[in-house]
């Protein structure tokens, strides 16, 4: 075959990289020598090469590279396996098409791909032929083997319990595939054997689309980054006091009054698009409808006293940030509307858990509303904290009934934020540990975390001192820096181990306790974020969390640093706009950017 017609944009590079002591060292090309591309060197150098997150099982990686052709990548189901259900078969086709597209994109913006090379066959065995929805107990493990057949084909055999494990294997396979910018070829490691499964089952990102609107396009980019980092849960904080972008067909007034503009709305079709886009990327979309606080805009049509304190002034007396607003637990219309909202959520989303929010209820707001005060008095209650907790319990109980009604009468795990309701001495009274999962948002040294675990609650850790990605910017009310400053570097995110948090609080890490610690979510509250900046806030820091949750590495961020720099560039290739962590010089000069 003839390759002289292929343009050579970089015929004679002066630099080459060679692997020395597990580092790719940049060196001048010696006359007569051929330069080795940085990515090719990295694919062959170091225990984990460029894998992110690093696998937890067997990792046997070859020492040479094969050239593959972008036109000869195929995937098929192993003949010994059973037939996939139509839905899983569709996911299989979608995920393998994505793999092919992603391989071809490796060269995008860098150079042309020479069409020479071997064929790559992916042979898959998926044991569970039915599971097409990611659930809290979904088996995400996989076994990936790369080998060469006698006729020169590259075989990649993937065995996974579920589609979701299979999909993770494709990500790993993609990470072992590079575009070589010196030879302008697609290349793959010609030998590998990896067994892998995550340490924590719950690995998520929370995105708030109400403080500022975040478009479906941005959500899709977020899901691209999640897929590339093997995160599995997109927690959609879809409404808040500031705006109500979630279109509810039975109550169109909610968005008519509550959306920022008529175009800043999520239609049912938008939601379905997101759920399916996420599914094929191994991500479950968990909706949050935050109540009874964090409501306001969108409810103005519902009549007096359905919501209270909306836009109340001075806001500092009635809530934590403008605008204020809470539901009125004593008003029947509240539950009527909530019931419909929940119903439509259960119709559109496909999640085995539901998030009811429940944070930052302001008792002074309720205390300043006559209807509520009368209700308390009629119940023989006073107006102290304990009394308002009873009122809150009234809300939580009734709202939960509506959630279960929307879920076809069946109960399901409910997530709630840490709050007054989850505090010492209250939590067992109000929240059944079999039913409620508590999402921690206080600091990682909050004793409450230890107490909750000791009491048997399952927890999701989103401690704000490590996982609130909105921290560190300018204040948006007043001046100076925002409340949870400083900015959290990826190093701190990486070191934020849920197990360490719990053991540092004196809890013995038994296997029961481990099972209670479901994982973490990086949270992005969007008071100061919209489509323009959402990617940079989330990435690559969410990937740092992803390795913590998947691999729970014993080593520090220092050992992960240069793989992190590489993975950050991978996110760029996947269409994400991540923050840059260091000069590109550091990626090209492994080990020289230290302190």
Residues 177-216, interacting with a copy of itself (CB under 8 A) = 181, 211-213
Q: How far is the CB of 163 from a copy of itself (least distance, A)?
A: 31
Q: How far apart are CA 514 and CA 459, in angstroms?
A: 10
CA distance readout (Å), 119 to 277, 351, 454: 28, 38, 54
> 296 or 498, CB closer to a copy of itself?
296
DSSP summary character for residue 151: T
Q: How far is the CB of 120 from a copy of itself (least distance, A)?
A: 26
Q: Contact between 535 and a copy of itself (CB under 8 A)?
A: yes
Q: Contact between 588 and a copy of itself (CB under 8 A)?
A: yes
Among residues 433, 430, 239, the alpha carbon closest in space to that of 327 is found at: 239
Q: How far apart are CA 497 and CA 378, in angstroms?
A: 48
Q: Phi, psi (5° rounding) for residue 29?
A: -70, 130
Q: How far is the CB of 359 from a copy of itself (least distance, A)?
A: 17
Q: How far is the CB of 203 from a copy of itself (least distance, A)?
A: 21
Q: How far apart are CA 20 and CA 36, in angstroms?
A: 13
CA distance readout (Å), 528 to 362, 469, 476, 525, 543: 23, 11, 8, 8, 21
> 323 or 420, CB closer to a copy of itself?
323
Q: How far is the CB of 475 from a copy of itself (least distance, A)?
A: 6
Whether 294 is catalytic is yes
Residues 142-171, interacting with a copy of itself (CB under 8 A) = none
Whether 240 is catalytic is yes
> 257 or 499, CB closer to a copy of itself?
257
> 198 or 553, CB closer to a copy of itself?
553
> 122 or 186, CB closer to a copy of itself?
186
Q: Contact between 320 and a copy of itself (CB under 8 A)?
A: no
| Among positions 236, 392, 490, 550, the unique one binding a copy of itself when judged by CB under 8 A | 490
Q: Contact between 580 and a copy of itself (CB under 8 A)?
A: yes
Which residues neighbour 441 within 8 Å (Cβ) at sequence distance 6 or greater?
359, 417, 418, 462, 463, 464, 468, 523
536 in Cβ contact with 487 (< 8 Å): no
Q: Contact between 557 and a copy of itself (CB under 8 A)?
A: yes
Q: Contact between 297 and a copy of itself (CB under 8 A)?
A: yes
| Among positions 536, 552, 559, 574, the unique one binding a copy of itself when judged by CB under 8 A | 536
Catalytic-labelled residue, pool 128, 181, 185, 240 = 240
Q: How far apart are CA 190 and CA 156, in angstroms?
A: 9
Per-residue binding letters, 450-469, with a copy of itself (x by CB under 8 A): --------------------
Q: How far apart are CA 410 and CA 389, in angstroms?
A: 26
| Among positions 280, 406, 529, 564, the unique one binding a copy of itself when judged by CB under 8 A | 529
Q: Which helix (H) or strand (E) holds 465?
A: helix 464-467
Which residues neighbour 588 within 8 Å (Cβ) at sequence distance 6 or greater?
17, 26, 38
Q: How far is the CB of 124 from a copy of itself (least distance, A)?
A: 34
Q: What share of the chain is helix, strand, coil (3-state, %, to 5)?
A: 35, 20, 45
In 272-380, the DSSP E strands lie at 284-291, 307-308, 326-327, 354-357
398 in Cβ contact with 333 (< 8 Å): no
Burial environment of residue 385 by CB neighbours within 10 A (0 to 12, 13 to 18, 19 or more):
exposed
Residues 87-106, interacting with a copy of itself (CB under 8 A) = none
Token pair of 336 as six digits: 């009527």
Q: Contact between 589 and a copy of itself (CB under 8 A)?
A: yes
Q: How far is the CB of 127 from a copy of itself (least distance, A)?
A: 40
In this structure, are strands 154-160 and 118-126 parallel, antiparallel, or unpaired? parallel
Q: Contact between 7 and a copy of itself (CB under 8 A)?
A: no
Tell the residue number behind the tokens 């990682």, with chain if given.
Answer: 444
Which window, 52-60, 139-147, 222-230, 523-531, contacts a copy of itself (CB under 8 A)? 523-531
Dihedral of CA atoms 412, 417, 419, 423 in degrees, nearest 10, equals 60
Q: Contact between 39 and a copy of itself (CB under 8 A)?
A: no
Q: How far is the CB of 254 from a copy of itself (least distance, A)?
A: 11
Which window, 45-53, 117-125, 150-158, 524-532, contacts a copy of itself (CB under 8 A)? 524-532
Q: Contact between 528 and a copy of itself (CB under 8 A)?
A: yes
Whether the bond between 520 and the residue before it is cis, its omega within 30 degrees of 0, is no
Q: State the greatest distance between any 2 C-alpha atoms of the chain, in Å, as a whole number.
A: 93
> 181 or 344, CB closer to a copy of itself?
181
Q: Contact between 585 and a copy of itself (CB under 8 A)?
A: yes
Q: How far is the CB of 323 from a copy of itself (least distance, A)?
A: 6
Catalytic-labelled residue, pool 270, 340, 360, 371 = 360
Residues 251-270, interacting with a copy of itself (CB under 8 A) = 256-257, 260-264
**Residues known to be catalytic:** 240, 294, 360
């Amino acid at each position: 075959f003839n390759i002289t017609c292929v343009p050579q944009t970089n015929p004679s590079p002066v630099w080459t990289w060679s692997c020395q002591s597990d580092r790719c060292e940049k060196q001048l090309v010696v006359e007569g020598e051929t330069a080795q591309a940085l990515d090719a060197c990295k694919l062959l150098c170091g225990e984990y090469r460029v894998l992110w997150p690093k696998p937890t099982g067997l990792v046997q990686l070859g020492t040479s590279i094969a050239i593959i052709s972008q036109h000869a990548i195929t995937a098929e189901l192993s003949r010994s396996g059973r037939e996939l259900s139509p839905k899983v078969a569709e996911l299989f086709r979608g995920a393998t098409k994505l793999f092919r597209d992603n391989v071809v994109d490796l060269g995008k913006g860098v150079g042309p791909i020479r069409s020479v090379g071997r064929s790559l066959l992916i042979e898959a065995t998926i044991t569970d032929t039915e599971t097409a929805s990611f659930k809290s107990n979904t088996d995400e493990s996989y076994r990936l083997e790369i080998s060469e057949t006698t006729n020169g084909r590259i075989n990649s055999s993937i065995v996974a319990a579920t589609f979701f494990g299979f999909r993770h294997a494709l990500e790993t396979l993609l990470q072992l595939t590079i575009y070589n910018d010196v030879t302008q070829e697609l290349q793959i490691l010609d030998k590998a054997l990896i067994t892998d499964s995550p340490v924590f089952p719950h690995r998520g990102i929370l995105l708030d689309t109400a403080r500022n609107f975040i478009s479906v396009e941005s959500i899709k980019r977020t899901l691209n980054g999640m897929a590339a980092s093997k995160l599995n849960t997109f927690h959609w904080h879809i409404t808040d006091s500031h705006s109500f972008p979630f279109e509810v067909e039975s109550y169109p007034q909610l968005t008519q009054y509550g959306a920022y503009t008529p175009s800043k709305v999520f239609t049912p079709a938008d939601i379905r698009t997101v759920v399916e886009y996420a599914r094929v990327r191994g991500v479950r979309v968990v909706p949050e409808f935050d109540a009874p606080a964090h409501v306001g805009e969108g409810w103005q049509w519902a009549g007096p006293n359905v919501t209270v304190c909306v836009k109340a002034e001075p806001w500092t007396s009635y809530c934590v940030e403008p605008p204020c607003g809470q539901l009125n637990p004593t008003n029947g219309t509240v539950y009527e509307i909530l019931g419909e909202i929940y119903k439509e959520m259960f119709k559109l989303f496909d999640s085995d858990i539901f998030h009811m929010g429940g944070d930052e209820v302001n008792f002074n707001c309720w205390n300043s509303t006559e209807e509520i005060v009368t209700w308390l008095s009629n119940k023989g209650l006073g107006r102290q904290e304990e009394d308002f907790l009873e009122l809150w319990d009234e809300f939580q109980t009734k709202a939960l009934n509506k959630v279960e009604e929307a879920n076809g009468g069946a109960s399901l795990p409910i997530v709630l934020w840490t709050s007054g309701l989850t505090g010492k001495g209250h939590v067992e009274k109000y929240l059944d540990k079999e039913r409620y999962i508590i999402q921690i948002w206080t600091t990682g040294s909050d004793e409450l975390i230890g107490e909750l675990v000791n009491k048997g609650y399952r927890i999701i850790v989103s401690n704000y001192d490590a996982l609130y990605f909105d921290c560190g910017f300018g204040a948006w009310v007043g001046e100076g820096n925002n409340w949870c400053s400083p900015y959290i570097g990826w190093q701190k995110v990486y070191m934020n181990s849920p197990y360490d948090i719990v053991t540092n609080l004196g809890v013995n890490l038994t296997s029961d306790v481990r099972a209670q610690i479901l994982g973490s979510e990086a949270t992005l509250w969007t008071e100061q974020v919209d489509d323009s900046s959402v990617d940079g806030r989330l990435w690559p820091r969410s990937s740092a969390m992803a390795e913590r949750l998947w691999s729970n590495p014993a080593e520090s961020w220092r050992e992960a640093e240069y793989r992190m720099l590489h993975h950050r560039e991978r996110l760029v290739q996947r269409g994400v706009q991540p923050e840059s962590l260091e000069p590109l010089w550091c990626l090209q000069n492994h080990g020289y950017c230290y302190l």
